[in-house]
Amino acid sequence: MKPERVVIAYFSPTGGTKKVAQALKDGLEAALTTAPTTAPTTALPALSTQAPVIKAQGLNIKLGARSSAPSAALTLRPTIPATTPDTPDPSAKPTPVTTVNCLTVKSRHKDLALGPRDLFVLVYPVYFGRMPWALQQWPALHGHGASALVVSVYGNRAIEDGERESMALLKEHGFKVVGAIEAIAEHSQERTLAQGRPDAQDAHDFKTMAAHIIATLTQGELPEYAFDVTTALKAPGKAPAVPRILERAQCDDCGRCARLCPMQIIDPQTLEVPEEKAALCMGCRACMACCKLQCRGFPQPILAAIAARMSQIKAANPERKPNVLKLSSEQAAAPHSAPTT
């Protein structure tokens, strides 16, 4: 079923995740403009259980092999039913695709209710192999059976528990998770890791993925994505270090950092994180990125420790990692592997 509405919620402390969300929005809008309102009249053959993994231009889509498809020479094109006999109805209303910024506590208290004919896309960055624990506090989010995709944006290291945490979160809020995307963006702790990503090649990947998602949804109802629900989710974590105001004289008391902190732990009077709240900090850097005077950060010894750790991570992850799309309808041949941590 073609979704009636698409809502993309993004959590982006330093901007990389927002770029991924924007590229997906562009791709989804383009795909929805050309998608037929009803399912194609020509039924597609059943999915085989031997789905091949296709890597093209850095894109890695686990595709369900059609029983009639030649296994050796698959390309992306035949799976995207731009070639179906259906033509879009010019009188049909375009499907609205909206974005919602869910960074602040305030934004997560604004009513965000979807319905069974809608598609919700949650785009978030991975921290320490986890979903940002700020998202555990989202009282105004209500799925009411809407289909959902989780998009884990990471800095070329690993996603680990992040994906299943976000899937569990959306399930708890009444969504049916039907798929996931792994997407790369520049590492916000070490900008030379995945530098410049998402780039033009990534934008092309997201466009191709968006077309495949809409084509698949238009063909029929997708089952719920199977993910690990047996391993207990972890409690909110703790960043190793909390950013502070380094030069008090430079700060003009604008209060932006306190307003934007996703955990709302910066005292609006002192503009510091009180000791009793330091354990809640995610290390997300929203407070540093939003400070126009650049007076928030880490003292030199902490910076040196972060740099040493990041150079190890960089050395261990030199390759350009691909963006990956995983849909529930194509999951049979690629069962979810247990998290590594």
Binding site for ligand FMN (CB under 6 A): 12-17, 125-129, 153-158, 185-189, 239, 283-285
Q: 178 vs 291, which CB is nearer to ligand SF4?
A: 291
Is residue 279 part of the contact set for ligand SF4 (CB under 6 A)? no
Cα–Cα distance between 74 and 109 in angstroms, integer? 46
Would you give the end-to-end CA distance of the chain in angstroms?
37
Is residue 257 part of the contact set for ligand SF4 (CB under 6 A)? yes
Tokens matching residue 87: 């033509």
Give the C-alpha distances (Å, rounded to integers) separating 114 from 2, 3, 18, 244. 15, 11, 21, 38
From the list ligand SF4, ligand FMN, none, partner contacted by residue 287 (C-beta under 5 to 8 A by kind): ligand SF4
Cα–Cα distance between 221 and 203 in angstroms, integer? 27
Is residue 135 part of the contact set for ligand SF4 (CB under 6 A)? no
Q: 142 vs 234, which CB is nearer to ligand SF4?
A: 234
Torsion angles phi and psi, residue 98, rounded to 5: -115, 155
Conformational region of residue 108, where left means phi above 0, alpha means psi within -120 to 50, and beta covers everything else: alpha
Q: 124 vs 329, which CB is nearer to ligand FMN?
A: 124
Is residue 179 part of the contact set for ligand SF4 (CB under 6 A)? no
Cα–Cα distance between 133 and 131 in angstroms, integer? 6
From the list ligand FMN, ligand SF4, none, partner contacted by residue 126 (C-beta under 5 to 8 A by kind): ligand FMN
Is residue 108 part of the contact set for ligand SF4 (CB under 6 A)? no
User: Which residue number places its CB atom closest to ligand FMN?
Assistant: 16
Give the H/E segment covering residue 176. strand 176-184
Alpha helices in the chain (DSSP H): 16-34, 162-172, 200-219, 256-260, 286-289, 300-316
CB 256 → ligand SF4: shortest distance, Å? 4
CB 224 → ligand FMN: shortest distance, Å? 26
Contact segment (CB under 6 A) with ligand SF4 among 111-119, 146-154, 278-286, 308-316 equals: 278-286
From the list ligand SF4, ligand FMN, none, partner contacted by residue 15 (C-beta under 5 to 8 A by kind): ligand FMN
> Over the Cα atoms of the chain, what is R_g?
21
Q: 1 vs 241, which CB is nearer to ligand FMN?
A: 241
Extended beta strands in 96-158, E state: 97-101, 112-113, 118-125, 141-142, 147-154
Is residue 254 part of the contact set for ligand SF4 (CB under 6 A)? yes
Q: Is residue 146 within 8 Å of 118, Cβ to Cβ?
A: yes
Is residue 105 part of the contact set for ligand SF4 (CB under 6 A)? no
Contact positions toward ligand SF4, by CB under 6 A? Answer: 242-243, 245, 251-257, 261-263, 265-266, 271, 273, 281-287, 290-291, 293, 295-296
